[in-house]
A = this chain, B = another copy of it.
Amino acid sequence: MQLPELIRDIGRRAREASRPLSNLTTETKNAILRAMADELLVREAAILEANVADLAGAREHGLAPAAIDRLTLTPERLRKIAADVRHVAELPDPVNEVLAEWTRPNGIRISKVRKPIGVIGIIYESRPNVTCDAAVLCIKTGNAVILRGGSESLRSNLAIAEALQTGGARAGLPADAIQLIPVTDREAVKLLAQADEFLDVIVPRGGKSLIEAVVSSARMPVIKHYDGVCHIYVDAAADVEMATRILINGKCQRPGVCNALECLLIHRDIAEKFLTAAVPELAAHGVELRADEEAFHQLSTLNYQLLRRATVEDYRTEYLALILSVKIVPDLAAAIDHIERHGSHHSDAIVTTDETVAEKFLNEVDSATVYWNASTRFTDGGEFGFGAEIGISTDKLHARGPMALPELTTYRYLIRGEGQIRA
């Protein structure tokens, strides 16, 4: 089959599967998930063998050690993946939740009820466990799913998807409810993004060029999982010890994730005091600083070694590394203005003991998650208590911030009457 026909065929099958799937009971869906978890373990040898082949290919292509580690499956990691599937079976099913219900003066009763979206496309570049996570969350919410992972993990992804399909089928999963596109060509992404007859939404998780390929082609709604250019603003009234702790946690605990800090803004009145306190910690963690003129001067005086001057480009960059932009601002308004102009509206924090200042920051910073005296690293479905997440949406519509099971649903209005007509 040629690629365009293949994508249409996959889309058509997913659409067909979505109807019976949307009407499964919670009990059936949970039984399906448990059967999937069983099958992942039954097929341990085959999945690990596929992974070994992926790893050999990855080494041949010179993948970085960190990427090799993310790609690697072990018996222990596979058991963790299966346990996560069982965990999703335990979570509440959002489908059929009544969101609102009211009766109109003419007697018609209106119910707004959560329902599956239909067919969801998920495009990702990362670890093979995403194949399982994404599929399982879609099935839990009664949606058919089309997956398209990265080329380096294709064999592992196929082996995992096959286990989910086979295990699920035993417990009543409709055929074609989970499909993995076996072509890792970028063209497949574009074709999928144009197939709005079959897909209700497409969720790209990955780097700039992947997101751009989806956004420029897509005819259906897109929920982007894009970058986090996250800020911490240390206000004049900040507790310096607390600000240092939140800064180091946000920048250094796990620099490669989207909720890590990329920019430090400091109120001028506390800059010297704060930098004096923070510099030993930053140096101990080996953080490179890219500073504006004023901060550069102060950091030079403090004899900070890993120091460069910041460019405008730095303020828009998600480093995903131990690098931090630093800027001294005259007031709260300048801090908010910087975040609004240069940030990516993901997660931004203020540290201050002044409630008025904090509430103004919370009110005016237009980001998915805005923090007062807490680390931006909490932007995460698990940390929010959502039980599981499909990712962190950087879009404003339908889903914003941590995207969990309810965000994989839509709603319908169901109206019950006794023959009412419109006058």
Q: What is the interface of chain A, defined by CB distance below 8 A to chain B?
A: 19, 22-23, 102, 104, 108, 110, 115, 117-118, 196, 200-201, 215-216, 219, 221-223, 239, 242, 245-246, 249-250, 253, 340, 358, 362-364, 366-375, 377-379, 383-385, 395-398, 400-402, 410-422
Contacts and interface: CB of A to CB of B under 8 A. Distances in A.
A194 to B, nearest CB: 9
Contacts of A366: 19, 22, 115, 118, 412
Given A371-B417, A401-B413, A415-B374, A104 B246 contact: no
Contacts of A253: 421-422
A415 B200 contact: no
Contacts of A363: 23
B215 A396 contact: no
A368 B412 contact: yes
A400 B196 CA distance: 17
A233 to B, nearest CB: 14
A249 B417 CA distance: 14
Nearest to A249: B421
A116 to B, nearest CB: 8
Contact of A378 (B358, B362, B370, B420): B420
Given A22-B366, A397-B397, A402-B413, 14 more contacts: A19-B340, A23-B364, A104-B385, A200-B396, A215-B219, A221-B221, A245-B421, A249-B421, A250-B421, A362-B416, A372-B414, A373-B420, A375-B422, A378-B420
Given A395-B221, A400-B412, A419 B239 contact: yes
A398 B398 contact: yes
A10 B362 CA distance: 28
A402 to B, nearest CB: 8
Contacts of A23: 363-364
B415 A397 contact: no
A413 B370 contact: yes
B239 A369 contact: no
A254 to B, nearest CB: 8
Contacts of A222: 221
Nearest to A110: B384
A274 B369 CA distance: 57
B396 A410 contact: yes
Contacts of A370: 412-415
Contact of A372 (B364, B396, B417): B417
Contacts of A373: 416-420
Contacts of A201: 396-397
B415 A372 contact: yes
Contacts of A19: 340, 364, 366
A385 B102 contact: yes
A189 to B, nearest CB: 16
Nearest to A242: B419
Given A104-B383, A414-B362, A246 B396 contact: no
Nearest to A396: B410
Contact of A369 (B196, B246, B396, B412): B412
A102 B402 CA distance: 15
18 contacts: A23-B364, A117-B396, A200-B397, A201-B396, A201-B397, A221-B396, A221-B397, A221-B398, A242-B419, A246-B421, A249-B422, A358-B416, A369-B414, A370-B413, A371-B416, A372-B416, A373-B416, A375-B421
A392 to B, nearest CB: 11
Contact of A422 (B358, B377, B421): B377
Contacts of A115: 366
A221 B221 CA distance: 6
A378 to B, nearest CB: 6
